[in-house]
Amino acid sequence: MAEDLALYLRLAPEFGGTRFGPFEGAEVRLGSDQSNNEIVLPEALGVAPAHVRIYRQADMGIIVAPVDRTAAVYVWQGNATKPKQINTPVATRAGDSFALVTAQGPRFFIEIDKLPEEVVKKREQEKKFNPARRRLSAEAFKQEGKRQALTSVLSTGIGQMAQRAYVFVVSGAIFQPRNIIMLFGVAGGYIFGGVQSCRMAGVKTELDSTKAELDNKGKEVSVLKDISNTNSADLKFSQLVLQVTGATALASALDEDQAMAAAVKEKAALIAQSSKDYEWLINPKKGAARAGNFARIREAALEESEFDPDTAKLIPWLAAVTDLSQEGWTSINDSNAEQVCGRGPMAITYRQAINFGLSPVLDAYLKGSLADYDGEGSRALRAEALRATAKASGIAAPAELEGEFETQINLMRTGREACLALTGGDDKRDNVGVLIRTLARHLGASADFVPAAGKAHAVTARIAKFFAADIDTVVFSEKRSSGLDLNRGPVGAALGQMGPQGAWVKDHAAETIARSTVLPCQAVLKYGENPAVAATFGDALPSPVYCLILDWKLRNE
């Protein structure tokens, strides 16, 4: 039976002949990174940290997929005596082989064979104990459905992949185990027959869970159908942004703003390659406190009536800061290319806080010998650093700097840099409620310097305005400002006319939008659609099908 078969990968005799497996999951990864691969090969051989992925299909077909175009993979198919180098996913069968790096590199033969006898015996015992519960497992349907959908999508180019996936889904193969109708009949008789009432409740729970999973698979069918009906041979980046974020206005803005769209795509590719920087957010087992803070910002933004729906979806991503210290401080390369301090979950600079009307406590970025700023003899140095921040923000330095004043030094995560701050009650940059209410005044439906909500570029303009608050010539309290005009035309073009400071704003706005697109997908693809992931990103998680296509495009285009 197919369920008693597994995938094995055997090294060629000249490489030792080691047999790896059995592998029963949908995916097997090979590379030099010990933490993320089932088979780890020495980096000295030229193997990339993530080099190749092997996907097993229900019909025992095997997909060999290079992680990106720079990961050289050579495949021997059938009776071929010479391999061909591949840079896109290729369908193979048992008996075929592939090599990494060069045709003479580590070569693996693909084998489909029976599971070890001890594993088979253990499963037979489980079947005897509770066959109905095992076969109606929601996880079984979930894994099998996902495997069928995702491996079909991977098998060819994007458009063709989607078409084949759709056909495979609607044929019924996605809803493995294959005898689903018969199993529901058996389960119905089992449930309603009244056998062992205590177990019956558990079986019904599993049945309800399975039906929910099938509903989700039905949504994936709809997703694949939408892709297959697309006239274009390839999905545009803006279409993927729409499907992942659900922000219609954002997708439209990127379609009309080539400069911003190019910047977002570039940032998205970088984030996809360095997602470890965001493990605190996407991994349910890490960074619970900070991820919880992100979730609170997300919920507060969605509840704020001043935000239009698309802006509300993007606001939380302002808080996806990678290097925030435990004390809530980080270093920022500001719009003047100066190193300054950012405070709170959104890493708001002192100049931003002034422009937002948050009445912040004066701070200053310190680097080097931090001991020079500690103690009674350091008063002049501390006062000088704080005055520099006030001057750069266009305000007068507090009079208290002329006399005795108290400060605190907040160390950064590295321990070699710190933020000096006057002692006082500056908790507004740290307070989620205050932040959301403040941003609602400046980024809400009736905000100044940006298009009205619902108009073209309104969403991207609002994200850009958040960062433009750091520009020293921009003053939000004035109805007219020569330093900011995002009301006319594409935002990317408008920022391009503002010189280096405008480029800085575009760069940070693009990174925020890229986070909103890539990070939910990274969480879904790595850790699944589970309650812990939903607690951080919300119940409307993106489809793994679209996420897989997005990931492929970012790594290969």
Q: What integer best gives the mean pLDDT of the chain?
A: 79
In the predicted model, is pLDDT for residue 41 greater than 50?
yes
Strand 84-86 to strand 73-76: parallel, antiparallel, or no bridges (unpaired)? antiparallel
Determine the Cα–Cα distance for residues 349 and 424; give it in Å rounded to an integer: 17
> What angle is formed at CA 264 by the lines to CA 258 and CA 269, rounded to 5 degrees?
125
pLDDT per residue over 352-404, tens digit each? 999 999 889 999 999 878 888 887 788 899 999 999 999 998 889 888 898 88
In the predicted model, is pLDDT for residue 336 greater than 60?
yes
The predicted pLDDT at position 108 comes to: 95
In the predicted model, is pLDDT for residue 270 greater than 90?
yes
In the predicted model, is pLDDT for residue 147 greater than 60?
no
Cβ atoms of residues 542 and 147 within 8 Å: no
Distance between terminal CA atoms of the chain?
A: 40
> What angle is formed at CA 105 by the lines to CA 101 and CA 108, rounded to 5 degrees?
105
Comparing 219-233, 362-376, 499-513, 523-537, the range with the smallest average pLDDT is 219-233
Averaged pLDDT for residues 233-246: 83
Determine the Cα–Cα distance for residues 172 and 145; give it in Å rounded to an integer: 10
In the predicted model, is pLDDT for residue 442 greater than 90?
yes
In the predicted model, is pLDDT for residue 29 greater than 70?
yes
pLDDT per residue over 164-209, tens digit each? 444 334 334 344 443 343 334 434 443 344 444 444 445 444 555 4
Query: Sign of torsion, CA 346 349 355 357?
Result: positive
The predicted pLDDT at position 310 comes to: 93
Tokens of 340: 């300054």
Tokens of 5: 């078969």
The predicted pLDDT at position 471 comes to: 92
The percent of residues above 70 in pLDDT, for the chain, comes to 77
HSE at residue 394, side-chain half, CA atoms within 13 A, is 12
Determine the Cα–Cα distance for residues 224 and 9; give it in Å rounded to an integer: 31
Q: What is the pLDDT confidence band of residue 235, given thresholds at 50, 70 and 90?
A: confident
Residue showing tokens 């060819």: 156
Q: pTM (2 decimals)?
A: 0.64
| Residue, of 514 and 35, whose pLDDT is higher | 514
The predicted pLDDT at position 539 comes to: 86
Q: Helices in 171-287 by DSSP H: which ranges? A: 180-192, 197-228, 237-245, 248-256, 258-273, 279-282
Domain boundaries, the chain: 2-117, 130-228, 239-321+431-556, 329-422
Determine the Cα–Cα distance for residues 378 and 424; give it in Å rounded to an integer: 19
Q: Helices in 470-543 by DSSP H: which ranges? A: 491-496, 499-527, 531-537
Closest by CA position to 408, among listed 420, 397, 416, 426: 420
Number of Cβ within 10 Å of residue 333's Cβ equals 12
The predicted pLDDT at position 268 comes to: 95
Residues 6+ apart with CB under 8 A from 427: 434
Number of Cβ within 10 Å of residue 274's Cβ equals 10
- What kind of architecture, by CATH, is found in domain 2-117? Sandwich (2.60)
Determine the Cα–Cα distance for residues 233 and 553; give it in Å rounded to an integer: 13
| Residue, of 325 and 389, whose pLDDT is higher | 389
Residue type, 197: S
Cα–Cα distances in Å, from 103 out to 83, 111, 310, 422?
A: 7, 20, 49, 64
Q: What is the pLDDT confidence band of residue 85, given thresholds at 50, 70 and 90?
A: very high
Residue showing tokens 């520009």: 471
Determine the Cα–Cα distance for residues 540 and 535; give it in Å rounded to an integer: 10
Strand 39-40 to strand 27-31: parallel, antiparallel, or no bridges (unpaired)? parallel
The predicted pLDDT at position 188 comes to: 45
In the predicted model, is pLDDT for residue 258 greater than 70?
yes
| Residue, of 476 and 49, whose pLDDT is higher | 49
